[in-house]
Amino acid sequence: MMFMCLAMGAFSLNDVLTKTSSAELPTGELIALRGVFATLLMAPLIAFTYGFGSVVRAYSWPLFIRNVAEVISAFLFLSALFQLPIANVTAILQTLPLTLTAAAALLFKEPVGWRRWSAAAVGLLGVLLIVRPGSADFSWWYLSAIIAVVFITIRDVATKYITGVTPSLVVAFITAVVVMLAGFAYGTIETWVVPSTGAVLRLAVAAVLVLIGYYALIECWREAEISAIAPFRYTIVLWAIVMGYFFLGEVPSWWTLAGSAVVVGAGLYTFHRERARRQ
C-alpha cells in the first residue's frame, strides 16, 4: 500500500515537471532527454547488482509486449497531458482498474458478475462527465488519454506474465531504455532545440521520479494481491489536483471533480466486489 502511494506521488510530480518543460521542448526530445537521465542513473545499479547480462537474459515475449505498450501509452498520455489539465487526464487514467476487470473477463475467462460490469459502465459515465463531448471545453485530446488507458491495461497484464526470476529493477531499466530510444526515434521528425538549464534540471528530477514510480509499481503488481493494493492507486487523483493547483495554477472544474468522484467510486466498488467474490 505504501509502495502504491509512493508510486502515484512520484508519477504525479513527474507529470508536473514534464508538463512545465513541454513549453520549450518538443515531445520526442523531452522523452529522449528524460530517458537519458533515467538510463544513466540506473546503469550503475544494474552493473553492480545483476550485471548487464541480466538484461539480455530478461528478454521474453511478455516483456516485449509490455515495452511496446509502455512506449505507445507514454506518447499518448504525454500528448494529452501537454494539452489538457493534469487533473482531468489523471482522472481518466483511473478507469484502469475497470479496464483490468474487463481484461480479466475477456482474456482470462474470469467470472465477472453484473455488479462489476455495472461499475464499469458507471465509470464510463464518470469519464463522460470529465470529457463532456459537445461542450465548449471538449477537446479531441481526451481521445488520446482514453486510448492510453487501453495500452496501459495491456502493459499491466503483460507484467503479470514476466517470470518471477527477472528482477523488477531490470524490468524498469529495460523499460527506461526502450522509451528513451523511442523518444530519439520520434525526435527525427521534430526540430530539436537547445534546452535551458532549468529544463534540464526538471527532466533530471523527473527521471528520478519515473524510476521510483516504475520500481514501486512493478513491486506492487508482482508481490502483492491486486485487490489489496489497487484502491490506493486512486491517491494519484489527490496528488494531481493538489500539484496541479500549486505548481501549474490549474483549478479543476466541478464537472472534473464530479467525474473523478464517479470514476473513483466505481473503481472502489469493483475492488469491493472482487474481494467479496474471493471470500
Residue 194 DSSP code: P
Taking CA atoms, 167 is separated from 39, 46, 84, 214, 215, in Å, by 16, 10, 36, 12, 10
Using CB atoms within 10 A of its CB, is residue 53 exposed (0-12), middle (13-18) or buried (19+)? Answer: exposed
Whole-number pLDDT of residue 277: 67
Asked if 260 and 91 touch (Cβ cutoff 8 Å), the reply is yes
> What is the C-alpha separation between 264 and 279, in angstroms, rounded?
23
Residue type at 147 in one-letter notation: I
Whole-number pLDDT of residue 255: 80
- pTM tops 0.75, yes or no: yes
Residues spanned by the domain of 129: 2-278
pLDDT (tens place) for every residue of the chain, 279 residues total: 788 888 889 989 999 999 999 988 999 999 999 899 989 988 998 999 899 888 988 888 999 999 999 999 999 999 999 998 998 898 888 788 778 777 777 776 666 666 777 777 777 787 878 877 766 677 888 999 999 999 999 998 888 888 778 888 898 899 989 999 999 999 999 999 999 999 999 999 998 897 788 778 777 766 666 666 767 777 888 888 889 888 888 888 888 888 888 888 877 777 766 666 666
Number of domains in the chain: 1
